[in-house]
Amino acid sequence: MTPLGRGIEHNNHAGYSNEQSSACVTHVIEDYTPMLPRRFWNDVAEFTRSATTDFAPRTEREARRVMSAVARLAIWTTDVACLPLERHIVFDGRHIDRYILHGAPTSNDYGLRRRRLQLMNVAAELHEFDEARRDAGATPPRQVYAPYTAAEVVRFRSQGSTRTTVLRRHNWMVLMALGAGCGLTTPEICGVTVTDINTASGTTRVSVGGKHARTVVCLAEWEEEIASLVTSTLVRDYLFVASTGLPRTAIQVKGFIHDAANGRERFTVERLRSTWIVGHLQHGVPPVELINALGMTTFATLQRFIPYIAGLDEEERTILFRREVRS
C-alpha cells in the first residue's frame, strides 16, 4: 500500500480518474448480488456492502470478488459457527483460518490459499486484524483506534478553517463535528441530513438510520459548530456535501480528507470516533449506555479501547469497590 492509500492518486491503475472509478465501484457495491441463495444473502447483504465500502476496492472486478468472499465468510459465521455478525469477529485471523479449513467453497489448495489471502487483506485494510499473527499478511498501521488528545483535536479543528475552499472547510468540519462530537462512523456521517438534527430542546441530537438506528446526544462543545453547519447555504439535504454527480460514500470521504489536507497531517474518522468513545468512558458513562449510543448489542466493541482508559489510584479504587454510604 502506498502512503496515499489504496487508489487515492490522480488516476488509478486502470487509467480512470478517481472520481470515475469511485462512482463505478460504488455502483457495483450498491447493486451487485453474489451468486448465493437469496435467503442467505439477505441476512448478510448490509454487512457485506458496508465492509466492502470501507475496504475501498480499486476496480469493479475487485469489488465483486471481495463482496463474494466476504458474503460467504459472513454466512458461515452466522449459520455454521453461530457467531454474531460483527467485524472484530468475522475478520479475526483465526476465525478466517477456521473458515478456510472447514467452510470455504473450494477444495483446491491454490484456491484456498487465494481465498485466505483475499480475506486477510480485507481484514488488514479494515484494521480488524490480529497483529499477533505473523503469517497472516500485512498488519495495519499502529494506533488505528487510538483517541486523539485534546490538543490534536484543537489543531485539526483549527486546520479546518484554513482549507482552500468554502466546500472543503464545510465538509472538514462536518466530519469532525459528527465524528468527535457524536461518535458516528463514516457511512453514518454520509447519511445524516438536516432533518436528522434536532436542537429544539436546547441540546443537539442526531438521529442515525440504518442497521444501528439510534439517537445520539452530541457533546456540548460541538453544538454551536453543528448548528452553524446545518444553516450553511451549501446544505440542501445531506450535511456532508458531495462533489457534483458523486455519491456520498466512505471511499469519497477518504479521498476528500487526503485532498483537503493538502500534504499536511490529516485525521481519520475512526480515531475521531474513538476520541468520543474514550472520552465518555473516562467521564464515567456506564458501558451499557455507551453501547446503546453506538447502536451496538455487545460489549466486544469496547474491548479495543481498554488500553486508552486511565485506571484509578489505590484510594479511588478502594472507595469505589467498598461502596460505602457516607452521610
Under the banding of pLDDT at 50, 70 and 90, the label for residue 35 is confident
- CB neighbour burial string for 11-48, b if at least 16 within 10 angstroms, e if fewer: ebeeebebeebbbebbebbeeeebebeeebbebbbebb
In percent, the amount of the chain with pLDDT more than 70 equals: 84
Read off the pLDDT of residues 85-143 as tens digits, 9 standing for 90 and up.
888 889 988 889 888 887 776 656 778 888 888 999 898 887 544 444 444 444 444 46
Query: Could you tell me the residue ranges of all domains in the chain?
Result: 18-125, 150-308
Q: Whose grid coordinates read 497483529?
A: 131
Q: Whose grid coordinates read 438534527?
A: 197
CATH of domain 150-308: 1.10.443.10
pTM given for the model: 0.58
